[in-house]
Amino acid sequence: MSDPNGGHSTVIVAGAGSGIGLATTRRLLNDWPDVKIVAADLRIGELKDVQSEFGQDRIRFCESDITSAAGAAEVVETTVSWSGKLSGLVVCAGNSTNHSSLEMTPEQWREVLDCHLDGHFYMNQAFGRELVSQGHGGAIVNFSSVAHSFAWPRRLPYAVAKAGINALTRTLAIEWAEFGIRVNAVAPGYVNTPLVANAQAAGFLDPSLIDMHAMKRFSDPDEIASGVKFLLSDDASFITGEILTIDGGFSAKKIPWNKTK
């Protein structure tokens, strides 16, 4: 039988302040009764409600900028000083942009790459160093996207960053297997998050995108959280270096299809 806490004591969720990160935080707290969460984000407004619901003994905040090595190290140090042992990491901090590659400024390019690539690398590195120091294994779940495998006009740095996260995930999985550290990623499609809602409101998303999903809808954040929980858990003890696509058939449906024709 699986450990009722997924084999974990304390899990860091970086990017926990909204959307999928917030849903993941709630899912882990709700389903794993003894697990503690350190929620790292520069925006903790909605997380205060989570703390009120589950208590300060189960969730703490860390308002650090994980796009720097120092900020990522601070998250890990905060976790260790509060809980002692840590065993799980979820990195889902992210952003996007909407610019032509010909018009994009260096600042716009770096803003996305810093958030995704630097944030993922520094958090993975700080977490991995601590686990090796403590002498035990653990599990990491990074956040890729279906954008890693498609041409994504006006979203170039986002697509590039997600492809980079795949490479980071697979490489660290090989490097760190000897330490008992598993490294995987989830690759969501379109999810009903504030980021997607804002893009829809601004007219950046084609309404026909719904029909490009075999299941004819976008996913809910909690559905992505289910995949994250599985990859973190000891049920996935022999899975590492994998990118789990959760997109309702979006990436599988390459051509239009009507079952009546």
Residue 257 lies in a domain: no
Residue 254 lies in a domain: no
Rg (CA), the chain: 18
Q: Per-residue pLDDT for 207 more than 90?
A: no
Q: Per-residue pLDDT for 7 more than 80?
A: no
The count of structural domains within the chain is 1
Q: Per-residue pLDDT for 255 more than 60?
A: no
Q: Report CA 180 to chain centroid distance, whole Å.
A: 21
Predicted confidence at residue 241, as pLDDT, reads 99
- 15-64, pLDDT tens digit by residue? 999 899 999 999 999 999 999 999 999 888 889 999 999 999 999 999 99
Residue 261 lies in a domain: no
Amino acid residing at 61? F
Residue 256 lies in a domain: no
Give the other-Cβ count within 10 Å of 136's Cβ. 14
Predicted confidence at residue 197, as pLDDT, reads 78
Distances (CA, A) of 117 to 122, 142, 224: 9, 11, 20
Residue 163 lies in a domain: yes
Task: Summarize the confidence of residues 135-143 as an average pLDDT.
Answer: 97
Q: Per-residue pLDDT for 70 more than 90?
A: yes
Residues 18/46, Cβ–Cβ less than 8 Å: yes
Annotate the chain with DSSP letters as a single string: ---TTTT-SEEEEET-SSHHHHHHHHHHHHHSTT-EEEEE-S--TTHHHHHHHH-TTTEEEE---TTSHHHHHHHHHHHHHHHS---EEEE---------TTT--HHHHHHHHIIIIIHHHHHHHHHHHHHHHHT--EEEEEE--GGGGS--TT-HHHHHHHHHHHHHHHHHHHHHGGGTEEEEEEEE-SB-SHHHHHHHHTT-S-GGGGGGSTTSSPBPHHHHHHHHHHHHSGGGTT--S-EEEESTTTTT--S---TT-
Residues 241/173, Cβ–Cβ less than 8 Å: yes
Predicted confidence at residue 258, as pLDDT, reads 54
Order of all β-strands in the sheet with 59-62 = 59-62, 36-40, 10-14, 88-91, 138-143, 181-188, 243-246
Predicted confidence at residue 261, as pLDDT, reads 44
Residues 6+ apart with CB under 8 A from 77: none
Q: Per-residue pLDDT for 200 more than 90?
A: no
- CATH number at 52 reads 3.40.50.720
Residues 6+ apart with CB under 8 A from 2: 233, 234, 235
Task: Summarize the confidence of residues 85-110 as an average pLDDT.
Answer: 87
Predicted confidence at residue 254, as pLDDT, reads 61
Residues 6+ apart with CB under 8 A from 235: 2, 6
- 145-174, pLDDT tens digit by residue? 987 777 666 778 899 999 999 999 999 999
Residue 69 lies in a domain: yes
Residue 117 lies in a domain: yes
Task: Summarize the confidence of residues 103-116 as an average pLDDT.
Answer: 89
Average pLDDT of the residues of the chain: 89
Task: Summarize the confidence of residues 177-197 as an average pLDDT.
Answer: 91
Full domain range(s) for residue 64: 10-246
Q: Supply the residues annotated as catalytic.
A: 158
Which has the higher per-residue pLDDT, 155 or 82? 82
Q: Per-residue pLDDT for 247 more than 80?
A: yes
Q: Per-residue pLDDT for 186 more than 80?
A: yes
Instruction: Give the closest residue to 93 by CA, choosing from 60, 67, 75, 68.
Output: 67
Round to whole Å and give the CA distance between 100 and 95. Answer: 16
